Structure 1
Amino acid sequence: MTTFFTSDQHFGHANIIKYCDRPFADVPEMDEGIIARWNETVGPDDEVWVLGDYAMGDRARGLSYLSRMNGTKYLVSGNHDLCSPVERNGHLHVQQYADAGFAAVVSQAEVKLPEVVPGEGGLRVLLNHFPYEGDSHTEEDRHAQFRLRDLRQTLVCGHVHDDWRVRRSPEGTLQVNVGVDVWDFRPVSAEDLHRFILEQGDATPSRR
């Protein structure tokens, strides 16, 4: 079994194609293209953490795609997910997302990335839709109350689309965006994510 991370599919969202200059002609081509790349990457026995903003527009249609997509899927809700705590009645929609195929729906999580350098161990990272600092195509950091406190632990996030793949917070903490716009519209494996973090010179040894 391999664990993967991804974010910000925005299934059903026409404006995102122009907003992020996605290489798709329309919503059906985008949706089917993302599903195809997901299934090329993820196997039936794998697991995938989706870090928010899974679908917009016709969310019921977007949620129906889950049954076509490989792996056990977990959602860390984002500001455009109806089940998000950003939404006043978000808690009322959690079961809808679970019934559609998410094995768990949470607002944040912590996982351990597997060892990729012999003897150096795994790496604990936080998962949240929002980065510690930074937003999508704006200088204002929205939804501040739903962002995690920066205690110098590497954060894996989404939300910022194609603005950046990696960026340090004002505290110097590494933030890695796993959004589809900067990862070829497919999930990234835990091993590849750990290697990418090591390439940035931030292994956060105190959190191994």
Structure 2
Amino acid sequence: MEHVIEIEGIGAVKLSHFPYLPPTPDDEAFLRYEHLRPKPTGEVLLLHGHIHSQWLMRQYRKRPPMLNVGVDMHGMKPISEDEIARFFAIAGESVEG
């Protein structure tokens, strides 16, 4: 299940429990729940959880950046829209391919 919201200063942001499916999954764990993974539909950022503390930000080629908003990555607290905007602003410098 996914939902798209507008965040001021960012634009259309998709919310999903799962991150995007990697284009070339090297880890069998990333193949799990393939039918539940979101697909890019014009959003500029994906906010997701599910992966716990595996990574904070990631971007696959030709897909919007993803930000792990799980509380285990953020001091066991939800993050604010301002924090999301800050991460989005530095996404090009911090994401992994």
- Specify if TM > 0.5: yes
Aligned equivalent of 2:87: 196
Q: What is the TM-score of this pair, normalised by structure 2?
A: 0.76
Task: State whether residues 152 and 171 of structure 1, in contact with CA within 8 Å, keep that contact through their aligned partners in structure 2.
Answer: no
Aligned equivalent of 1:127: 15
Q: Distance in 1 between matches of 2:20 and 2:62?
A: 9
CA-based RMSD of the aligned residues comes to 2.2
Q: Distance in 2 between matches of 1:133 and 1:163?
A: 15
Q: Distance in 2 between matches of 1:188 and 1:151?
A: 24
Distance 1:172 1:198, change over 3 A: same
Q: Distance in 2 between matches of 1:198 and 1:128?
A: 20
Q: For residues 40-85 of structure 1, give each alpha carbon's deviation from its aligned partner in whole angstroms, at most 9, with x where no partner exists.
A: xxxxxxxxxxxxxxxxxxxxxxxxxxxxxxxxxxxxxxxxxxxxxx
The one-letter amino acid paired with 2:51 is: V
Please identify which structure carries the higher helix content. Answer: 1
Distance 1:170 1:201, change over 3 A: closer
Poorly superposed stretches of 4+, deviation over 6 Å = none
Aligned length: 87
Structure 1 position 201, deviation (Å) = 3.2
Where structure 1 has 5 or more consecutive residues not aligned to the other structure, the ranges are: 1-106, 116-121, 203-208
Where structure 2 has 5 or more consecutive residues not aligned to the other structure, the ranges are: none
Q: What is the TM-score of this pair, normalised by structure 1?
A: 0.38
Q: Distance in 2 between matches of 1:151 and 1:108?
A: 11
Aligned equivalent of 2:36: 146
